[in-house]
Amino acid sequence: MKKRNQMLFLSPDELLSLLAAARQHSNRAWSMICTSYWHALRASEVCGLTFADIDKENDALTIRRLKDSLETKQAFRKQRGVPLLDEEKALRSWLAERPADDQSTFVFTSQKGGEMDRTAFWRMFQDVAAAAGIPQEKRNPRVLKHSLASHMVAAGENLAHVQQALGHRSYKSTLCYVGVSDSQADTAVQRAASNLF
């Protein structure tokens, strides 16, 4: 049950299930969801990515965030050990099947060509999440941003690094996205107690 003001996030297993379902759905879905996760993108931000944002020479992506967030340049994630998390492979797979006559400057296009609308991405995400068995309350793209923040914190990353990865100007904004489950908190309490006593 969601507690008041608690951000929902995917467990690592849920994320992998989501990416597997996305890959089954389409390479576009896989690439959009993978990119959204790794760069903590809002639906409008992933839909708004253009080829000008891709720096092929440095294997990086310029993230132009909304809501007065930072513009950042982040490396493409190459997860060879976990292919579903390999953002570079997902993007290459999508671009290989993208219609050759599509002259749009947007990376992720609609089925009719041109920029994909954020509501279309939301609908696609909900379909993929349902196919993956993701709980109803987590079936929206915002959960990807929350998940990256929570996964980084769970891995012991410095909150300043989390703040930069999410493109937040304010440290307070980052704290809103940081959440842990009751079981994670219980484990941390036990670990602290065993280290102290």
Tell me if 52 is assigned to some domain: yes
- Percent of the chain with pLDDT strictly greater than 90: 60
Tell me if 2 is assigned to some domain: no
Contacts of 90 (CB under 8 A, 6+ apart): 23, 27, 30, 31, 34, 35
Ranges 10-19, 95-104, 139-148: which has the least confidence: 95-104
Tell me if 4 is assigned to some domain: no
| pLDDT tens profile 42-100 | 999 999 999 999 999 999 999 999 887 888 899 999 887 899 999 999 999 999 998 87
In the chain, the number of structural domains is 1
* CA–CA separation, 45 and 186 (whole Å): 35
Tell me if 90 is assigned to some domain: yes
Residue 161 pLDDT > 50: yes
Range of the domain at 95: 12-196
pTM listed for this prediction: 0.86
Tell me if 69 is assigned to some domain: yes
Residue 28 pLDDT > 50: yes
CA R_g for the chain: 17
Structure-token match 């993007």, residue found = 91
* CA–CA separation, 189 and 192 (whole Å): 5
Tell me if 116 is assigned to some domain: yes
Tell me what the mean pLDDT of segment 107-118 comes to: 89
pLDDT of residue 180: 62
Q: What's the CATH number where 27 sits?
A: 1.10.443.10
Tell me if 31 is assigned to some domain: yes
Tell me if 101 is assigned to some domain: yes
